[in-house]
Amino acid sequence: MKMNFLSVRDVTAEEFAELIKEALKIKKSRKRERVLSDKILALIFEKPSTRTRTSFEVAIKELGGDCIYLGLSETQMARGEPIKDTARVLSRYIHGIVMRTDSHEKLVEMARYSSVPVINALSDLEHPCQVLADFVTIKEFKGELETLKYGWIGDGNNVCNSTILACAMMKIELTVACPEGFEPDRSILRYAEKIGGKVKITHDPKIAAKDADVLATDVWVSMGSEHERAMRLVSFEGFQINSEILELAKEDVIVLHCLPAHRGEEITEDVIEGEHSVVFEQAENRLHAQKALLKKIYSRE
């Protein structure tokens, strides 16, 4: 049975917890396996990447498979070939598609016409693989999840959207602090509310930081938003994770950032390099989380 992973919503809470557990198990005993033996996956990346591309390539190869990287200009989609045609052709060559795109609709169409699994390696709506790794990190450092308070400070972007869904599934209390006009996707918030999520939206970062067990942020200017840089820097002034904000959180708070970081903008140098920061463990966990995901998808066959 084909299993796509386009959204955090594509797995149950139980499956999400199992993926976290498996990723931590993999991390403890990193070894080569044969789950993807004789399988080749295509990595279609319309946006550049360091962590996502490298972690997926290593994960695929450590699981016994291989991959083909296709950049923005390396497919006929760059010249207008319909995604449905690309999906149906690639499905006859390879055993899975990992796609990083500026449009979630493209991803959905790829999955609709593909006969092999499609994984969201980032879209404008969600970044579920990143958030899976984030929760592996939270579990690693905090243990039980349900009693935690999570504070997100910054843009209500794709990572924030996936964080909302994951917190709702894992019964974590989440407060999102963002400037007016930069709130998370409304459909995501409605879904989180429907499944019993405790999500609060505020325009005051101090409220999100108050007594938080976990604090997270992301860049203020994402890929594709560079033309809005000047406006965004003004809008996000005051939404920085710094020592003052950190003092409002719990003494053992951990700080997450999916990287790359613009130090001095959304987060200060002293915080990202400080004792509360787990951003490099978080980055490492991309590898282990994606291996767990790939094992789940391809062990179903």
Would you name the residues annotated as active-site residues?
100, 127, 130, 218, 258, 286
The full DSSP string for 40-67 is: EEEEEESS--SHHHHHHHHHHHHTT-EE
For residues 66 and 60, is the Cβ–Cβ distance under 8 A? yes
Sequence-ordered list of residues with C-beta below 8 angstroms from that of 172, at least 6 positions apart, any chain? 145, 146, 148, 149, 150, 166, 198
The full DSSP string for 178-206 is: --TT-PPPHHHHHHHHHTT--EEEES-HH
